[in-house]
Chains A and B, each alone.
Chain A
Amino acid sequence: MTDLDVEAGGAGPSHRSLEVGVAAAMAVVALIGIYGSIAVGIGWAADGPRAGFFPFYVSLIVLIASIVNMVQALLHRVDGAVFASWSQLRQVLSVLIPTIIYVALVPYAGIYVMSGILITFFMAWFGRYPWLIALAVGIAVPVLAFFTFEMWFLVPLPKGPLETMLGY
């Protein structure tokens, strides 16, 4: 992990392109908002302003502000600043991708099993812990969570085939 840190500041996507991208994404969201507001009516009905009235103007302001932000980002001189180096982005993805898989599988395998897998995998692969230690933490945390939530606070969490097998 430490040898990756040294490389920080290497090549990567420019900060400017990210600024423009975020502003563009917001403008798109604003346009969707404007479209949706017009669909339900932005005018004045017998009982006052219609449902789209408020979101329409809010979206309009987002659109204007996004255009300002985009112009400001484009006018900003190119100083070669990167938003993050490729190795840093690889670090971000190395936590984001497992998280996405985790979230996608929770409805099917249950949150406890998936949490155990996530923790074990992360510790063993990313933290280079021995598998046995990783597995121990990976089992201990979900078991602790199970007792805290299901038993003491009576908050049911999503369960999968394993819990059904155990009779919960």
Chain B
Amino acid sequence: MLQDIAYLFHGFAVVAQPFNFVLMVVGIVLGVIVGVLPGLGGANGIAILLPLTFSMSPTSAIIMLSCIYWGALFGGAITSILFNIPGEPWSVATTFDGYPMAQKGKAGEALTAAFTSSFVGALFAVIVITLVAPLVASFALEFGPPEIFAVYFLAFCSFVGLSKEPPAKTIASMMLGFGLGAVGLDQMTGQLRLTFGFEQMLNGFDFLIAVIGLFGIGEILLTMEEGLSFRGAAAKLNMKVVLHTWKELPRYWLLSLRSCLIGCWMGISPAGATPASFMSYGIATRMSKRGHLFGTGEIEGVVAPETAAHAAGTSALLPMISLGVPGSPTAAVLLGGLLIWGLQPGPLLFTEQKDFVWGLIASMYMGNLVGLIIVLTCVPLFASILRIPFSVIAPIILVFCAIGAYTVHNNTFDVVMMVVFGVVGYLMKKTNYPLAPMVLAIVLGDKAEEAFRQGLLSSQGSLDVFWSSPLVGTIMALGLIALFWPLISRGISFVRGHEPGPMTAE
């Protein structure tokens, strides 16, 4: 424990190196821009910029990329409050009260509350990561293939159970991801499979291409369909408003704490930031004395979803660095980055790559603090980006998506695949298939399959191996509970004799 703190301070020293510090600021600014622009989000923004980091050291690279993530989390709030357009799915709930506040002329208060709550949520999650991740990692070092598969099983079952989309759609989308991930060379036998003689498919489908296509191109097509024209409130933020709002915020400490806990829970189980923000908003509506006023511009309605979204977005990195299981698509892209930089994600990182892990954790503290200062001071600048018409933004985003897709493998066929994934993403979004489980399945497919097959090998093909010890049995049982959670929660409320509320639906 004490040693971990020493490592953490060493991490701060790494982050404070001038080059890394500059990367951190650049990352946050890029991240806010990515978060503000429609069609670019944390996941595909990082995927596009990933190739730029190939020549950097892994530590510098992860500092820059994770700061893009923090920036994107902050950026989503700006557009939600000022323009009523959620720049990111996790800021949808922020529009409910943020935009009415802006219309009442309280944009400054809403922005300050949003940024500050984001910071509080992130800080809480980073502290949780600092304390818990090393323990989880040292615990996970004992895991064999059955346990590793059980962890994947739990992660993917949580998707099915916690998603608000129909289970069959979540399962279809997830398994399609596993299928796409299986195309190409089989890691264990070295045999080619599912390539049908096409040379381009030898290496399978790269998930970075899928991310850029599904989230980037798909989002642009959706935005075109909605024909968005941005009309927003003016963004002014002076120190007086900030200080005034800060004086008020401590009153909502209980709300913050609850939102932090919801966020961390939802972030670690891979439900992600979006359901966390909705759930936190929903619970706040019921618990608050002013709950009936929610939706008309209550500051609590901004604090609750923003705190939870940031706590979830940050804590999604906990399973990524300690277990190698990313909690969100963005965390999955970061995990893909680790593989490209030649690091093996998983519990061994904590023992073998101390600089990297603690540099990352330290950059979470610093990045969120610097991010808070940057967004508080530069809001008008970022808001002006949205005043650029979409007919200028759209082709430029398309160009950068294409460049990003090409640079992954220096292959123009990937750019074609990106467009295919874009159309698929557009159609799937329109029909409510969740995209996150598909992306995670493409990333983790090979590893999950390897763990599954190695587990089966040790038992000569009997599925009993996944129930053979209390540890693996517990994880599998948790997975099954998560899988059938909608049924279970309906059963509980049936026994109690009242209808399941909107909370369980989210």
Contacts and interface: CB of A to CB of B under 8 A. Distances in A.
B57 interface: no
Interface of A: 1-2, 4-5, 8, 15, 18-19, 22-23, 26, 29-30, 32-33, 36-37, 39-40, 44-45, 47-55, 58-59, 61-62, 65-66, 68-69, 72, 83-84, 88-89, 91-92, 94-96, 99-100, 102-104, 106-107, 111, 115, 118-119, 121-123, 126-129, 137, 141-142, 145, 149, 153-158
22 contacts: A26-B172, A36-B194, A40-B193, A45-B189, A47-B189, A50-B191, A51-B193, A54-B182, A55-B183, A55-B193, A59-B175, A62-B179, A83-B431, A91-B225, A95-B224, A99-B422, A104-B416, A111-B406, A119-B395, A123-B395, A137-B392, A157-B407
Interface stretch (B366-374, B375-383, B451-459): B451-459
A65 B171 contact: yes
Given A44-B461, A55-B194, A72-B166, A127 B391 contact: yes
B188 interface: yes
A18 B426 CA distance: 12
Contacts of A126: 391
Contacts of B406: 106, 111, 157-158
Interface residues of B, number: 64
Nearest to B415: A103
Contacts of B12: none
B419 A103 contact: yes
B398 interface: yes
B186 interface: yes
B481 interface: no
Contact of B176 (A29, A95, A154): A29
A68 B173 CA distance: 13
Given A54-B452, A65-B168, A157 B395 contact: no
B303 interface: no
A121 B227 CA distance: 18
B52 interface: yes
B227 A5 contact: yes
A44 B176 CA distance: 23
Contact of B396 (A36, A54, A119, A128): A119
A48 B166 CA distance: 35
A32 to B, nearest CB: 8
A61 B319 CA distance: 26
Instruction: Among B183, B399, B427, find the residue whose CB has the most chain A CB atoms closer than 10 A.
Output: B399
B168 A99 contact: no
Contact of B217 (A19, A47, A84, A99): A99
B403 A1 contact: no
B176 A62 contact: yes
Given A5-B229, A66-B172, A126-B391, A49 B224 contact: no
Contacts of A33: 179, 194
Interface in B155-211: 166, 168-169, 171-172, 175-176, 178-179, 182-183, 186, 188-189, 191-194, 196
Contacts of B395: 118-119, 121-123
B193 A115 contact: no
B169 A69 contact: yes
A103 B227 contact: no
A50 B55 CA distance: 38
Given A51-B186, A58-B179, A88-B227, 6 more contacts: A51-B193, A61-B175, A95-B224, A102-B402, A107-B412, A141-B396
B421 to A, nearest CB: 12
A48 B456 contact: yes
Interface of B: 51-52, 54-55, 166, 168-169, 171-172, 175-176, 178-179, 182-183, 186, 188-189, 191-194, 196, 217, 220-221, 224-227, 229, 389, 391-392, 394-396, 398-400, 402-403, 406-407, 410, 412, 415-416, 418-419, 422-423, 426-428, 430-431, 433, 449, 452-453, 456-457, 461
Given A48-B188, A55-B194, A72-B168, A1 B227 contact: yes
Contacts of A99: 217, 398, 419, 422
B205 to A, nearest CB: 12
A94 B453 CA distance: 47
Given A1-B227, A111-B402, A119-B396, A92 B457 contact: no
Contacts of A55: 178-179, 182-183, 193-194
Contacts of B172: 23, 26, 62, 65-66, 69
Given A55-B182, A92-B225, A127-B392, A49 B461 contact: yes
Nearest to A142: B399
A104 B416 CA distance: 7
B427 A103 contact: no
B196 A36 contact: yes
A68 B168 contact: yes
A149 B433 contact: no
Nearest to B400: A145
A84 to B, nearest CB: 6
Contact of A156 (B168, B226, B410): B410
A106 B415 contact: yes
Contact of A122 (B189, B191, B391): B391
Contact of B419 (A26, A52, A58, A100): A100
B184 to A, nearest CB: 10
Contacts of B52: 153, 155
Given A48-B188, A83-B430, A95 B175 contact: no
B452 to A, nearest CB: 7
A92 B179 CA distance: 29
A114 to B, nearest CB: 9
B412 A61 contact: no
Given A40-B193, A95-B220, A122-B391, A8 B449 contact: no
Contact of A36 (B188, B193, B449): B193
